[in-house]
Amino acid sequence: MRRIFLASLMVSILITSSLSAADKIVIAHRGASGYLPEHTLEAKALAYGMGADYIEQDLVLTRDDHLIVLHDITLDRTTDVASQFPERIRDDGRFYAIDFSLEEIRKLNVSESFQIRDGEKVQGYENRFPIGSSSFRIPTFEEEIQLIQGLNKSTGGDIGIYPEIKQPEFHREAGRDISTAVINMLKRYGYTTKQDKVFLQTFSFSELEIIKQEILPQAGIDIKLVQLIGGGSSYAWMLEADGMNKLAIFADGIGPEKTLVIGRSSTQSELEITPLVERAHAAGLQVHPYTYRLDPGQVPSYASDFSDLLQKHYFEAGVDGLFTDFPDRAVKFLESTR
């Protein structure tokens, strides 16, 4: 009798954990950017092969209005623009993507992120792909959608995209409507309903309102939207008791910085799980925090290792998905819990 009870208990535990783990997703942050230079088609193909559920694109516009996949509105951190186009520097010492045509952008060599120290390029994460090795380019949004949809066809997979509109106010000041350009591209490639595998994200709440109330209705489509939440004071209202209900009018999910989910002062014996996930879920919002990295110094001390960090966020804090530079590790972790 006791044995039967234990067996049925085991089965119910297994079912419970497999159901919850099955719903959780892995978002490849800038592709498999822990292994190959961020936002290159190579990093995206690797993320696809590693089994990520969604692959992220950060988007900015070129001078001739092409959407390119680039994290910054400037080209300095990840390309050799300074040596190829030295005369195109602005007064602030930066090279802006919006000052370059797509044809010019295509000439740039992309590398792992770096800083200049004593005239030398020093890569930000020293264990990652070496600067100066092999050959990489900045892709357009359209090329990247075609890559992922092409792989969905050739592998029979159904991997989603997770585009972010970068600095919409900067683009508007330059006379450009980047959000409409993104939504037109999504519509052209069949991302038109909340059932389609796309989440559209931005840090700008005012832009999110414009997208939800004007741009999507004008395009005649309705897709899932995500409000990103940083640590700055402009996001403070979102963290208050009724903040998530206000966001839920416009968004389907939130993408908070991960310290907003489990506090910085947490220890291995005392985890400070904030009310954020509970409030978001109560408002019907999914929660996809960023960014989970296993480079030296990137795993918070409250976690014993990277898997423990994932365990604490996915299953103790209860997030629905997360952005990671190491999608293979998160995919394997979730598989191990099923």
The distance of Cα 95 from the centroid of its chain, to the nearest Å, equals 24
Catalytic residue (choose from 29, 66, 288, 313): 29
- The answer to whether residue 71 is catalytic is yes
Catalytic residue (choose from 66, 71, 171, 313): 71
**Smallest distance, Ca ion to C-beta of residue 27, A:** 10
**Smallest distance, Ca ion to C-beta of residue 121, A:** 23
User: Among residues 79 and 167, whose Cβ is nearest to Ca ion?
Assistant: 167
User: Among residues 253 and 302, whose Cβ is nearest to Ca ion?
Assistant: 253
User: Among residues 164 and 207, whose Cβ is nearest to Ca ion?
Assistant: 164
Is residue 144 at the binding interface for Ca ion, with CB under 5 A as the rule? no
Of 121-129, 157-165, 174-182, 211-219: span binding Ca ion (CB under 5 A): 157-165
- Which 51-70 positions form the footprint of Ca ion (CB under 5 A)? 58
Burial class (CB in 10 A: 0-12, 13-18, 19+), 263: middle
The DSSP symbol for 38 reads T
User: Among residues 95 and 199, whose Cβ is nearest to Ca ion?
Assistant: 199
Decide if 175 contacts 105 (C-beta within 8 A): no
Q: Which residue has the tokens 């998160």?
A: 330
**Smallest distance, Ca ion to C-beta of residue 323, A:** 7
- Which 192-211 positions form the footprint of Ca ion (CB under 5 A)? none
Q: Are strands 114-117 and 67-69 parallel, antiparallel or unpaired?
A: unpaired
Q: Which residue is nearest to Ca ion (CB)?
A: 164
Is residue 164 at the binding interface for Ca ion, with CB under 5 A as the rule? yes
Q: Are strands 321-324 and 25-28 parallel, antiparallel or unpaired?
A: parallel
- The answer to whether residue 29 is catalytic is yes
Distances (CA, A) of 163 to 136, 196, 200, 217, 283: 20, 13, 5, 19, 23
Burial class (CB in 10 A: 0-12, 13-18, 19+), 217: exposed
The footprint of Ca ion (CB under 5 A) covers 58, 164
Q: Which residues are marked as active site?
A: 29, 71
